[in-house]
Amino acid sequence: MVNSRFRAVEEAFARPPVYAEAPSAVTSDYYGCKVFNRKQMRKYLSTETRERIYESIEQGVVLESGVAEHVAAGMKRWAMDLGATHYTHWFQPLTGGTAEKHDSFSEPYGKGDSLEQFSGKMLAQQEPDASSFPSGGLRNTFEARGYTAWDPSSPAFIMDDCLCIPTVFISYTGEALDYKTPLLRSTYALAKATSEVLEYFGVKGTRVFSFLGWEQEYFLVDSSLCALRPDLIMAERTLMGHDSARNQQLEDHYFGSIPKRVLAFMQDLEFEAYKLGIPVKTRHNEVAPNQFELAPVYEEANLAIDHNQIVMSLMKSVAERHGFKVLLHEKPYKGVNGSGKHCNWSIGTESGLALLSPGKSDEENLRFLCFMANVLKAVYDNNALLKASVATASNAHRLGANEAPPAIISSFLGSQVTKAFEELLNSRDMVKIGAKKGYKLGIPQVPELLIDNTDRNRTSPFAFTGNRFEFRAVGSSANCSSAVTVINTIVAYQLGKFKEAVDGRIASGTPVMQAVLDETRECFRACKDVCFDGNGYSEEWKAEAIRRGLDCETCPPRIYDACTSERTLEVYRETGVLTEPELQARNEVLWETYCKKLEIEARVLSDLSSNHILPIAIRYQTLLLENAAAMKTVYGEERFVAMSPGLLESIEDISRHICSIRRMSGELNALCNELDEIEDSREKAIGYNDRVLNYLEDIRDHIDALEMEVDDQMWPLPKYRELLFIR
């Protein structure tokens, strides 16, 4: 019998690149063709209707039902012109993915006829049978009603044959059951607080946005190989696998030339993304073998997040066409880099003011320092909450490892901004930020480079990178809303406090700019402990961070406590982003999800141990025993011992591993059963964290040792060298 692993390896090796049907036009010809954007609206909606919908998008005005009727009619015609037959409310439940339930436009009409229908009501609101989505107890199943409601600020689009309408998902009683609702509330809170502070600088009547540019890292693995790894299929990460002799130590993958088969996948993915108006821009190999990155041009956060969610699902379907499976898990392989999703975040105005960019005049620089200080203070005061926004079972494997920031939130500012703040602390006047310095390369044919205002420090979780903060702790599989909502909310809250303080100073006679300057100084003084430019991996930093009062907890179920602390409740109450019951419900979901993820891993590992690994180990051990017995018979005891050094040790070694694996997987199963009895979800999650994780590691060590001993011809699971290097 041929080991199916070898067949899969052969298949993977022989798989040719699949070139997508080359787009016949330049990108700009088909860009956004599957989006109901302003260009399409001009074609399908009357001027009057368009004005109403722009108003709704820009000012959050609720659309009257009559107008919604016109919009729906135009949208339906557009969608049908592009071959759509179905529509869906597309939303982002707390599972982290997206949800859609397709309904056909087609309705029976008369006797034996049908008619395509799509009304304003169908566009505006739906009531999906939502009882199976996680709600953290907000929705009892006997009252399982949840509503989806259209979010006109994110345009409708077509995927396959379906018109997708981005919506929020809320309970019967109005509580948020999704990621989008609090995100939109936080965007609103931030815009309001920012506008109020901007008034000190004479900026009025312009809309304020939070912007997001995500960088999506991912792994590709050949689908034939993946099919033989139940752990990859069920848990999206390898639960076993000995290091490959070669992994990333040659550092030859990062920015290396993109393998042809992968390039074909990327082109196909980009083609699909462009049609959906997603401004993908950058593609490259990442550090680990078979790891890659895709990044778009930044957009308004709500849209950027929808686009990221769409891209993650496009990746999966496009990968299938290319014989790949895409892995979005933060740590699919032990011993090589994991995947993150850096979230580049900034605030700006519609009129083009970038509030986190240093300016030219004193006033512009004060504005810059003012917003910087407020962001830093928000991060300092809420560092535990910010960490909670990215803490998941899968991301916990990545944070603190040698490719990702540590699980302590601090901020890197770079030398020039640090210096500007130091000057601010020591003076009563304005400070100047050094102009960009030219850097002479000494190569005549290459012009002078302008070095950025900031340095680079890859170990910093929340680094300032010239005109934005880069939040690097976000996991590759995450819905970025979780992180962005927290950033928006805490900054909105802080700006509110800042304004109160400045107004107090002004009321007691200080001139406006001086009041802003003085308060900015105090704000920075109070939070400068969050700034750290050193090596985030060092042990000294951990000790120092504790001294500075930064949260150093690494266990996700305990980190989640920060989501309902007194401080957090107050921040969310003041900004109106989430109520206490909503926050508590979300924590329930976090704890439950944590347990489920670990339970799946435990059960998969235990199954694999008993059905895949132990039978093979025993078979190989029997071969060795037969060999020993035959040797002894032919040569006699004494010569056998001399001729076969290590043979018996090997047999004993295998026995030891077999015994340990058998014992521990039994114990692990029993432990899961025991933990499942615990009612309280927090307590249960902590149980999984404290008791199950060790088992996963220990069992794995034995299996990995066996992988090195057992005949390669017999080993059933594709090995790291195959998963990581074949494409």
Measured in whole angstroms, the distance separating CA 618 from the mean position of its chain's CA atoms is: 41
In whole angstroms, the minimum distance from the beta carbon of 197 to ligand ADP comes to: 18
| 213 interacts with, out of Mg ion, ligand ADP, none, CB within 5 to 8 A per kind | ligand ADP
Interaction between residue 297 and ligand ADP (CB under 6 A): yes
Where is 399: in which H helix or E strand? none
* 525 to 226, 380, 421, 425, 602: CA distances (angstroms): 53, 11, 9, 7, 47
- CA-based nearest residue to 406, from 593, 539, 249, 549: 539
Beta carbon nearer to Mg ion, 342 or 719: 342
For ligand ADP, the closer of residues 49 and 346 by Cβ is 346
Minimum CB–partner distance for residue 345 and Mg ion (Å): 12
Fill in the amino acid letter for 39: K
Q: Report yes or no: 462 and 470 within 8 Å, Cβ to Cβ.
A: yes
What is the total count of residues that contact ligand ADP (CB under 6 A)? 15
Sorted by sequence, the CB contacts under 8 Å of residue 150 that are 6+ apart come out as 89, 123, 124, 125, 165, 166, 167
Q: Are 4 and 716 in contact, with CB atoms under 8 Å apart?
A: yes
- Cα angle at 448 between 442 and 453, to 5 degrees? 120
Structure tokens at 424: 């601010």
State the nearest-atom distance from the C-beta of 319 to Mg ion, in Å: 23
Candidate list 322, 342, 497, 700; residue touching Mg ion; CB under 5 A: 342
Distance of CA 564 to the CA centre of its chain: 22
700 binds, among ligand ADP, Mg ion, none (CB under 5 to 8 A by kind): none
Q: d(Cα 71, Cα 200) in Å, to the nearest integer?
A: 40
Residue 285 binds which of ligand ADP, Mg ion, none (CB < 5-8 A, kind-dependent):
none
308 binds ligand ADP (CB under 6 A): no
Residue 299 pairs in a beta bridge with 212
| DSSP letter assigned to residue 695 | H
Q: Please give the DSSP secondary-structure letter assigned to residue 16.
A: P
Tokens standing for residue 15 = 């798989």
How far is CA 702 from each of CA 38, 467, 614, 709, rounded to the nearest angstrom?
A: 60, 49, 11, 11
- Which amino acid belongs to residue 320? E
DSSP 440-481: --S-TTSPPEEPPSS---TT-SEEE-SSSEEE---BTTS-TH
Near Mg ion by CB under 5 A, which window of 210-218, 255-263, 523-531, 668-676?
A: 210-218
Q: CA–CA distance from 40 to each of 34, 300, 331 (Å)?
A: 9, 20, 42
Q: Which amino acid is at 586?
A: R
Work out whether 211 is an interface residue with ligand ADP (CB under 6 A). yes
157/464 with CB nearer ligand ADP = 464
Which one of the spans 339-347, 437-445, 658-666, 717-725 is the region binding Mg ion (CB under 5 A)?
339-347
In sequence order, the 6+-apart residues with CB closer than 8 A to the CB of 249 are: none
Structure tokens at 566: 């007194």
Beta carbon nearer to ligand ADP, 237 or 468: 468
Q: Which is nearer to ligand ADP, 282 or 535 (CB)?
A: 282
Residue nearest to Mg ion (CB): 342
Region near ligand ADP per CB under 6 A, out of 137-145, 191-199, 211-219, 597-605: 211-219
The entry of Mg ion, ligand ADP, none that residue 482 binds, CB within 5 to 8 Å by partner kind: none
Q: Which stretch binds ligand ADP (CB under 6 A): 88-96, 340-348, 555-563, 605-613?
A: 340-348
Instruction: List the one residue out of 328, 358, 350, 309 whose CA is nearest residue 482.
Output: 309
State which of residues 468, 499, 657, 727 lies at the interface with ligand ADP (CB under 6 A).
Answer: 468
Q: Reduce the DSSP state of residue 699 to 3 states and report it.
A: helix
- Sort residue 535 into left (φ over 0), alpha (ψ -120 to 50) or beta: beta
Q: Looking at beta carbons, which residue is closest to ligand ADP?
A: 213
Q: CA–CA separation, 630 vs 280, rounded Å?
A: 65
Alpha-carbon distances, residue 530 vs 44, 411, 508, 568, 605 (angstroms):
52, 6, 31, 18, 40
Interaction between residue 346 and ligand ADP (CB under 6 A): yes
Give me the 244-283 binding string for ligand ADP, x by CB under 6 A, dash otherwise.
--------------------------------------x-
- At its nearest, how many Å lie between ligand ADP and the CB of residue 468? 4
- Which of 44, 78, 298, 471 contacts ligand ADP by CB under 6 A? 298
Q: Which two tokens stand for residue 522?
A: 């105090």
Asked if 296 interacts with ligand ADP (CB under 6 A), we say yes
Cβ closest to ligand ADP, residue 469 vs residue 620: 469
Query: Stretches 113-121, 207-215, 485-493, 503-511: which one binds ligand ADP (CB under 6 A)?
Result: 207-215
Q: Are 347 and 210 in contact (CB under 8 A)?
A: yes
Only segment of 58-66, 293-301, 365-373, 445-453 that touches ligand ADP (CB under 6 A): 293-301
Whether 92 and 479 have beta carbons less than 8 Å apart is answered as yes
Q: Residue 150: name its binding partner from Mg ion, ligand ADP, none (Cβ under 5 to 8 Å by kind).
A: none
Min dist. Cβ of residue 490 to Mg ion (A) = 22
Which of the ranges 139-147, 214-222, 536-544, 636-644 carries the binding residues for Mg ion, by CB under 5 A? 214-222
Binding characters for ligand ADP, 166-205, by CB under 6 A (x = yes): ----------------------------------------
Nearer to ligand ADP, 309 or 689 (CB): 309
Q: Which span (180-188, 342-350, 421-429, 431-439) binds ligand ADP, by CB under 6 A?
A: 342-350
Write out the two tokens for 623: 């071969």
- Which among 87-95, 341-349, 546-554, 575-583 is the span making contact with ligand ADP, rule CB under 6 A? 341-349
CB of 215 vs Mg ion, minimal distance in Å: 5
Residue 468 interacts, among Mg ion, ligand ADP, none and using kind-specific CB cut-offs from 5 to 8 Å, with ligand ADP
Mark the segment that binds ligand ADP (CB under 6 A) among 339-347, 378-386, 432-440, 569-577.
339-347
Q: Are strands 411-412 and 280-285 parallel, antiparallel or unpaired?
A: unpaired
In the complex, the smallest distance separating the C-beta of residue 287 from ligand ADP, rounded to whole angstroms, is 12
Looking only at residues 347 through 366 of this chain, which bind ligand ADP when binding is defined by CB under 6 A?
A: 354
Question: How many DSSP H helices and E strands does the chain contain?
Answer: 25, 19
296 interface partner picked from Mg ion, ligand ADP, none, CB below 5 to 8 A per type: ligand ADP
**For Mg ion, the closer CB: 216 or 349:** 216
| Footprint of ligand ADP (CB under 6 A) | 211, 213, 215, 282, 295-298, 342, 344-346, 354, 467-468
Binding site for Mg ion (CB under 5 A): 215, 342
